[in-house]
Amino acid sequence: MNDNQPDLQDQESSGREAVLKKNIFAVASGKGGTGKSTFAINLSLALTALGHEVILVDADLGGADISTLLGISSPRYTLKDFIQGDVTYLSEILETTPSPRLRLICGGTDIVSVSNPYYQQKLKLIRSISQMKAGYIVVDLGPDITFNNLDFFNSAPVGFLVTQNMDAMILGFYRFLKAAFVRRLKQEFRHDDYILSIINDFQNRGWSHARRDLIGSIRAASREAHVKLESMLVTFQPKLVFNMVESSGARKTADQMFSFILENFGFRLQTAGFIPRDRDVERAYARNEPYLLRFPRSSASQALFDVLAACNLNCTPDGVRVPRFSDFLAYLKSEAPAWQLLKI
Ligand SMILES: Nc1ncnc2c1ncn2[C@@H]1O[C@H](COP(=O)(O)OP(=O)(O)O)[C@@H](O)[C@H]1O
Ligand SMILES: [Mg+2]
């Protein structure tokens, strides 16, 4: 963890005012290379194709690459300009894309310190993101388990976690999830020294030995703590996306993760979907083109549509549900000409 300000101050002052609106999706992973940015980009484009106004924010401040992956070579402004205070409003740094309904906030890569903004800058950024006007805001976070990424993830009402069915990726995923959960707990109980001491004790004793005690100890502490914990557990529902899936083993792993998390931490991990490893994704990626538009009939596109449907996002702004992938293709078809890369 390498925030510039102590954790406790973070806990004390990061009040409810920094909580984001419902239509904001954070995309995290806990490990680089899982396909997080690819997912964030294509999720944004899917929503755009359905007719929504979307803002895609590249908040992977250490490794921003979304503008490149969308073929936008030299953005005028980046988040660096906002974090450094060179511009006052995020709306000033919105970049257009070939789609009039998709706008982009590019990440800043050229200054290392930007990847670790000061605490007040971070709060300002979270608040400003929530004030932007859009149908949906998709925030691509960095893969590291830093307070910045955890706080962005926790403040977004919907958090996607992208992983792969490989030990190193699953480990990164668990580490991120555990850290986000504990941080959320600390935030929730920030005024309760006794519960904070239970959480700190849990952290100090190590995760494998103490985990079963944590939830039980908080539940047992007081009626009030019990009620507060239960309502937090209901709202903490990260959505799991398995990417680059090569076998049915991923479904089994997802089931095991669900049971493990529910048993040990008491919250329900939601499975948003399984996106196969698909050559078309790699081919589109290599050309800096979104696979959803370049290869709309690919198996990854179909799987992304299934994710939309599983999350109840397969609707137009008027609330018309798009029930089948074949219907969704028609939306992609009308979105594609703006990008000049599609022959459906
Ligand atoms: N479903 C997929 N099938 C095949 N390759 C994929 C898939 N999703 C992502 N990739 C590849 O994985 C690599 C990393 O993707 P990227 O989105 O940049 O990851 P991250 O943002 O997590 O670091 C890219 O080469 C991309 O083409
Ligand atoms: Mg990325």
Span 253-278, pLDDT tens digits: 999 999 999 988 899 999 999 999 99
- 115 contacts 62 by C-beta, under 8 angstroms: yes
Q: Which of 99-113, 211-225, 233-247, 259-273 has the lowest mean pLDDT?
A: 99-113
Using a 6 Å CB cutoff, which residues line ligand 1?
A: 29, 32-38, 243-244, 275, 277-278, 281-282, 285, 300
Encoded tokens for 254: 């997802």
Instruction: Tell me which of 285, 289, 298, 304 to substitute to probe ligand 1's pocket, judged by most ligand atoms within 8 Å of the beta carbon.
Output: 285
Q: How far is CA 185 from CA 58, 151, 200, 228, 319, in A?
A: 27, 12, 11, 10, 35
Name the more confident of 336 and 296. Answer: 296
Q: Which ligand is nearest to the CA of 28?
A: 1
Q: Which of 38-42, 111-115, 294-298, 319-323 has the lowest mean pLDDT?
A: 111-115
- Is 70 exceeded by the pLDDT of residue 8? no
Q: Where are the alpha helices (DSSP H) in 146-266?
A: 147-155, 167-188, 193-205, 207-221, 223-235, 249-265
Q: Rounded to the nearest whole angstrom, what is the distance from the C-alpha of residue 229 to the centroid of ligand 1?
A: 36
pTM: 0.91
- Assigned CATH topology for domain 17-339: Rossmann fold (3.40.50)
Q: Rounded to the nearest whole angstrom, what is the distance from the C-alpha of residue 282 to the centroid of ligand 1?
A: 7
- Is 70 exceeded by the pLDDT of residue 210? no
Tell me if residue 74 falls in helix, strand or coil: coil
State the pLDDT at residue 344.
Answer: 43
Sheet holding 95-96, edge to edge: 95-96, 102-105, 54-59, 136-141, 24-28, 158-163, 239-245, 270-276
State the pLDDT at residue 145.
Answer: 92
Domain locations in the chain? 17-339
Instruction: Tell me which of 31, 34, 38 to substitute to probe ligand 1's pocket, judged by most ligand atoms within 8 Å of the beta carbon.
Output: 38
Which residues are within 5 Å of ligand 2 (an ion), measured at CB? 37
